[in-house]
Chain A
């Protein structure tokens, strides 16, 4: 159970957040500058294209959010995304039962192995910026990683390992 939410700027329109579900499907939300929000569902055969785009009013969006439960606040991370080409930001959670809960960040050797950096950890609505190698993970932490696509996938794979090769 890891959720990766990507944020993409849409110049002149607004911003898009999307995530890949465990089933492999991709869904997203396009937030327009005007306040309108579109719920978008991506095509299974062609993951770049959305097959449905549902405009939601503020009230509808709020109702839907209530139904689905409180979500991660991504707004705080807006400034974190690097502007350089090819660099992406991703959030990976440490679920209950993860081998990494109570282990130290340094043990992941994420930067050495993947080139991607863990730049922050979100814990209980707080942002812990630039965690040291001695930082110990807890269940429910959300790790913010910056790197290339491959790097991010590498870190995601490391954090998903059931047995670490520490």
Chain B
């Protein structure tokens, strides 16, 4: 009984603290992700207010958070959308992967880490935060902009790529041989393809199975199906997160629409717990040691994201200002980077990785949305006008 009361008190304190932080965040227009991470750092070992009783509870909550984040992500897309996007935007997705994953991998090797850590850091620097970026685009009134589809399709491709990357990473982290890793990847590819095909063909039938009429039954049905599939995916070493993502994709129509409304508050709760948990597992004392490398990595990979967006928008025939808007919007990394880092930390890869990932995500997710406003400023517009007024300046290339 004693443990239970402490658990309730600790949990209540954490949630109240988060609510306060969330309000501060909304005032300042900041994404709540960095605030939750900082809260986790404060409550963690070596922080201001170490928690002990609720650790296990928070761990389970964090797992739920990942699953809910991913199922909601899947619910946002229809299978048809994903497939058509894949065909049209594969080149942009490839540029994105090469420009952003490679620097992360090289950086890890430069830090003297092994190739598993390099694989992890590649994923962390590769994936932009769909949640943060969608919010930035909507806040800045850019949903109608002509470069926005470019930004969105890069995000879609990244999310889809994660469905292949996460199971592969899970297998590698489990320490299986390369052959077993390849098998796991093959299972993942087959699963993703089958789910997409089934969702396109029979999406309505699956959705009809879960009726959208009764809110309570719908909530329990979608949540139950998601947890069930996630658990089975985890057993197959395809990663629980990917299972959840696929359930989200398979659901469509009114079921998906209502499920989004019902699951959003749950997602907000458990995603907050997830970010806090990740902060908890990071030792705040380590942050200063990795601050400079994290800053360097952030500057480097924010630069490559700008280039990614620039090139993608150029391919789509967007003019100069739009190319910069696309590039600068893509910079924030968030939930996925933390999910990847979380997997690695749980598997005991490179102890410094958690603190580096925390610092890295903190930097990109705070500065990204601020820097995204640059193209709307007068001086930036004036600068671009000057450049185009001179004619198309030929940049000398050293070749």
Interface residues of A (CB under 8 A from B): 8-13, 16, 18, 28, 30, 33-34, 38, 40, 42, 45-50, 52-53, 83-85, 149
Q: Nearest chain B CB to A14's CB is how many angstroms away?
A: 9
Interface string of B148-166 (1 = CB under 8 A from A): 1100110110000000000
| A to B CB contacts below 8 Å, 14 in the list | A11-B82, A11-B155, A12-B134, A13-B152, A30-B143, A46-B321, A46-B381, A47-B146, A47-B319, A48-B318, A48-B325, A49-B142, A52-B141, A85-B87
- Contact-size category for B: 20 to 34
Interface string of B87-100 (1 = CB under 8 A from A): 11101000000000
Any A CB within 8 A of the CB of B145: yes
Interface string of B308-326 (1 = CB under 8 A from A): 0000000001110110010
Q: Nearest chain B CB to A82's CB is how many angstroms away?
A: 9
- B130 lies within 8 A of A38 (CB): no
**A76 vs B325: C-alpha distance when bound (angstroms):** 33
- On whether A40 and B134 interact (CB within 8 A), knowing A9-B149, A84-B88, the answer reads no
Q: Nearest chain A CB to B161's CB is how many angstroms away?
A: 14
- A40 lies within 8 A of B144 (CB): yes
- A11 lies within 8 A of B144 (CB): no
**A52 vs B381: C-alpha distance when bound (angstroms):** 17
Any A CB within 8 A of the CB of B76: yes
- A11 lies within 8 A of B77 (CB): yes
- B321 lies within 8 A of A12 (CB): no
- A85 lies within 8 A of B91 (CB): yes
Any A CB within 8 A of the CB of B147: yes
**A13 vs B152: C-alpha distance when bound (angstroms):** 9
Q: Nearest chain A CB to B222's CB is how many angstroms away?
A: 17
In the complex, which residue of chain B has the Cβ closest to the Cβ of A40? B144
Any A CB within 8 A of the CB of B268: no
- A48 lies within 8 A of B87 (CB): no
In the complex, which residue of chain A has the Cβ closest to the Cβ of B313? A48
Select A48's contact among B77, B88, B145, B152, beta carbons within 8 Å. Answer: B145
- B77 lies within 8 A of A12 (CB): yes
- A49 lies within 8 A of B145 (CB): yes
**A85 vs B146: C-alpha distance when bound (angstroms):** 16
Q: What residues of B have a CB within 8 angstroms of the CB of A30 in the complex? A: 143-144
Q: What residues of A have a CB within 8 angstroms of the CB of B145 in the complex? A: 48-50
Task: List 7 tightest A-B contacts by C-beta distance, closest first.
Answer: A40-B144, A48-B322, A53-B141, A48-B146, A12-B76, A50-B144, A83-B84
**A33-B257, A48-B319 given; 5 more Cβ-contact pairs under 8 Å:** A12-B152, A12-B155, A42-B144, A48-B145, A50-B144
Which residues in window 232-264 of B have CB below 8 A to A? 257
Select B144's contact among A16, A33, A46, A84, beta carbons within 8 Å. Answer: A16
Q: What residues of A have a CB within 8 angstroms of the CB of B81 in the complex? A: 9, 11-12
In the complex, which residue of chain B has the Cβ closest to the Cβ of A149? B317
Q: What residues of B have a CB within 8 angstroms of the CB of A83 in the complex? A: 84, 87-88
Q: What residues of A have a CB within 8 angstroms of the CB of B141 in the complex? A: 50, 52-53
Q: Nearest chain A CB to B361's CB is how many angstroms away?
A: 21
**A28 vs B141: C-alpha distance when bound (angstroms):** 13
Q: Nearest chain A CB to B16's CB is how many angstroms away?
A: 31
- A46 lies within 8 A of B149 (CB): no
- A10 lies within 8 A of B152 (CB): yes
- A38 lies within 8 A of B152 (CB): no
Q: What residues of A have a CB within 8 angstroms of the CB of B156 in the complex? A: 11-12
- On whether A9 and B84 interact (CB within 8 A), knowing A28-B144, A38-B144, A48-B319, the answer reads yes
**A85 vs B88: C-alpha distance when bound (angstroms):** 5
Which residues in window 372-393 of B have CB below 8 A to A? 381, 385
- B143 lies within 8 A of A38 (CB): yes
**A13 vs B151: C-alpha distance when bound (angstroms):** 12
Q: Nearest chain B CB to A5's CB is how many angstroms away?
A: 14
Any A CB within 8 A of the CB of B85: yes
Select B148's contact among A10, A46, A47, beta carbons within 8 Å. Answer: A10
**A149 vs B316: C-alpha distance when bound (angstroms):** 11
- On whether A84 and B85 interact (CB within 8 A), knowing A9-B149, A53-B143, the answer reads no
Q: Nearest chain A CB to B252's CB is how many angstroms away?
A: 11
Select A11's contact among B152, B257, B319, B322, beta carbons within 8 Å. Answer: B152
Q: Nearest chain B CB to A48's CB is how many angstroms away?
A: 4
- B257 lies within 8 A of A46 (CB): no
Q: What residues of B have a CB within 8 angstroms of the CB of A85 in the complex? A: 87-89, 91
Q: What residues of B have a CB within 8 angstroms of the CB of A42 in the complex? A: 144, 146
